[in-house]
């Protein structure tokens, strides 16, 4: 449940302690620095308090964007069965630095077999059907779904071709 920040005219216009709010938020889930900063601002914490809280949390490694990037990439790839492009998109939405995103994707897909992930996603999309029996529209729908899931078009077409022996177009 989301709470709106106190309006300036409300009875309690004292801004909450940023460190206390930050620790509460981090106790619920792992957040990037950008996510935490946005949430603290929404809760009405003052900018100086937010900066001080984030500096302290970064110093004691309670707030670590590299750790958040690795955890989110593993979650997206291994649990949600997303491909590299979709994982990258999710990490960018979290406000993470591009070098952290690249490192997390490289590490995650070194541990996760992308080909096996694609095979499993394809099997789920086919619902037990043989790819050779799909008409053009159904085949296009499967391809669009897998590309939207973050797999490269080339890999999807190659996998479909291998499974049904047809021309990928």
Q: Count the residues in the chain.
A: 169
Q: Are residues 32 and 52 in the same domain?
A: yes
Question: 109-113, 135-139, 163-167: which has the minimum mean pLDDT?
Answer: 163-167
Q: How far is CA 128 from the centre of its chain?
A: 29
pLDDT at 92: 97
Write down the pTM of the prediction. Answer: 0.76
Q: Are residues 48 and 74 in the same domain?
A: no
Q: Is residue 9 part of a domain?
A: no
Q: Are residues 23 and 51 in the same domain?
A: yes
For 129-134, what is the mean pLDDT?
Answer: 87
Which residues 6+ apart lie within 8 Å of 109 measured at CB? 77, 84
Domain count, the chain: 3
Q: Is residue 8 part of a domain?
A: no
pLDDT at 7: 47
pLDDT at 161: 85
Distance, in Å, from the CA atom of 131 to the CA atom of 163, rounded to the nearest integer, reads: 7
User: Range of 36's domain?
Assistant: 18-59
Distance, in Å, from the CA atom of 82 to the CA atom of 67, rounded to the nearest integer, reads: 19
Q: Are residues 71 and 54 in the same domain?
A: no
Q: Are residues 153 and 120 in the same domain?
A: yes
pLDDT at 97: 97
């Amino acid at each position: 449940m989301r709470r709106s920040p106190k309006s300036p005219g409300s009875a309690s216009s004292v801004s909450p302690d940023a460190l206390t709010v930050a620790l509460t938020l981090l106790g619920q889930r792992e957040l990037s620095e950008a996510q935490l900063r946005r949430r603290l601002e929404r809760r009405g914490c003052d900018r100086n308090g937010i900066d001080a809280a984030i500096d302290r949390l970064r110093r004691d490694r309670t707030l670590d964007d590299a750790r958040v990037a690795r955890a989110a990439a593993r979650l997206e790839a291994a649990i949600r069965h997303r491909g590299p492009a979709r994982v990258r998109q999710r990490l960018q939405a979290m406000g993470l630095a591009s070098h952290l995103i690249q490192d997390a994707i490289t590490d995650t897909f070194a541990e996760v077999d992308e080909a096996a992930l694609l095979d499993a996603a394809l099997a789920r999309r086919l619902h037990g059907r043989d790819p050779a029996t799909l008409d053009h529209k159904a085949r296009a729908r499967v391809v669009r779904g897998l590309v939207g899931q973050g797999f490269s078009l080339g890999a999807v077409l190659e996998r479909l071709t291998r499974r049904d022996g047809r021309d990928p177009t």
